[in-house]
Amino acid sequence: MNVSLKNHWVVKPAEPTWSGTVSLSEFDQTFAVTHVPTIYYYKFFQDFITDEIIKTLKTSLSKALVHFYPLAGRLRWISGSRLELDCNASGVVLTEAEIDAKLDNLSDFLLSPDYNSLFPRVDYTIPIDELPLLFVQLTKFQYGGIALSFAISHAVVDGQSALYFFSEWARLARGEPLMSALFHDRKILRAGEPGIASPTFEHLQFNTPPLLIGKSSTENEKKKETKGSMLKLTKTQVEMLREKANQGRNLEDSKERSYTRYEVVTAHIWRCACKARGHKFEQPTNLCICVNIRKKMNPPLPNTYFGNAIVDVIATGASGDIISSPLKCAAKRVRKAIKMVTSDYGNSIINFLKKQEDLSKYQDIHAFRNKEGPFYGNPKLGVISWIGLPVLGLDFGWGKEIHMSPGIHEYDGDCVILPENEGDGSLTVAIVLQDAHVDAFENFFYEDIEC
């Protein structure tokens, strides 16, 4: 597929916005602080004029940035490898492109490097204080249809905040008012405050992850080629996994609730990855889980809090134990890790990070500095849930998407669980693994549901 770039614009807020420096919270500036890609596909059954769509996007985006003004700013480094946000209305980038392919030819929507050109290109050789926080690309297909893709800075927003922005921008594009006012004050998570207390929990997510048995580094694993897969689970298959995980649990006589879709599907992914990777029985393996803390903090954060409000927790186990034990055992490990996340736990993370003189070892920013960086692949795995996020039905005035997908990932062990477009309770698992493990994983993924 050949993509040609036609035009690009720097879109700024339509009106003057608040200007000044914003301190970022510890949740903003640790782990992944690069741009996160997402893509939506739209099919038009009638002729459409790209100029009108571009005009609608530019006008509505300019209006949206008045309310979501941090996205029009720029990051900058301060002491201790920390970041702050300069709200200077420098703007975001919108690009128009065309592709010499039909949308129908992309019916599988695989996580393939062949689709890289459908996403905005982020040039990390640009100094960070000049790098836009949001890039948007509209790509027109032959004979109807477009792809609308985004790359948004994870140092400024998490998934919930990003999707809130996209949905509100779409409302403005349709000529509707915003749903609610944003909450911009990151001081609610003690942003910019000095460290005054010590952590009260052990935080495994900041420890060095386990290596493969017999290996002294991750160098060989880093060099191995990876491949992405999009695996669908029907509602029936999801329920089969839940029934299997909850089998034998006396839920009526206990205060325990049944395992959720996320808990059982994540446990299933973990077991299948351990099998596919062919670990030794005693191989230590980590599962990284992202937890939204908005409702867990005391007091709770407003739903419209615009920033990062997720924490990572780690479930651990020996690979052989994960594989040989029933699904409910892995689900129990997942739930135990999630249940650790309380307001006290969230504050303990903040205290831990505020005590660090240099945050660089807790930042996944290799794209900013060099191509080397932390490795979270074999024998590790990270599973993010978008199940409860408003990822579907993004309508800018020309109808809802026919498909949405996370962007192209190249890192072994990256995994996202998405709701299926049909909205019938089915799910899609988007996962990246080393080439040598993909086929085995896909086989185990479906075979083990029936076992």
Active site residues: 154, 395
Sign of CA dihedral 102, 107, 113, 118: positive
Contact between residue 150 and residue 136 where contact means Cβ atoms under 8 Å apart: yes
Contact between residue 54 and residue 163 where contact means Cβ atoms under 8 Å apart: no
- Distance between terminal CA atoms of the chain? 41
Q: How far apart are the C-alpha atoms of 343 and 294, rounded to whole Å?
A: 9
Tokens of 124: 């990390």
Q: How far apart are the C-alpha atoms of 429 and 414, rounded to whole Å?
A: 11
Tokens of 331: 């689900």
As beta bridge partners, residue 314 has 288
For residue 376, give the amino acid letter.
Y
For residue 27, give the amino acid letter.
F
Q: In terms of DSSP bridges, do strands 381-385 and 284-292 run parallel, antiparallel, or are they unpaired?
A: parallel
Tokens of 194: 């000095």
Closest residue by Cα to residue 310 from 32, 34, 36: 32
Contact between residue 358 and residue 29 where contact means Cβ atoms under 8 Å apart: no
How many CB atoms lie under 10 A from the CB of residue 130? 11
Beta-carbon contacts of 258 under 8 Å, excluding residues fewer than 6 positions away, are 242, 246, 249, 251
Alpha helices for 226-318 (secondary structure H) = 235-246, 261-277
**Half-sphere exposure (Cβ direction) of 269: Cα atoms closer than 13 Å:** 35
As beta bridge partners, residue 382 has 288, 414
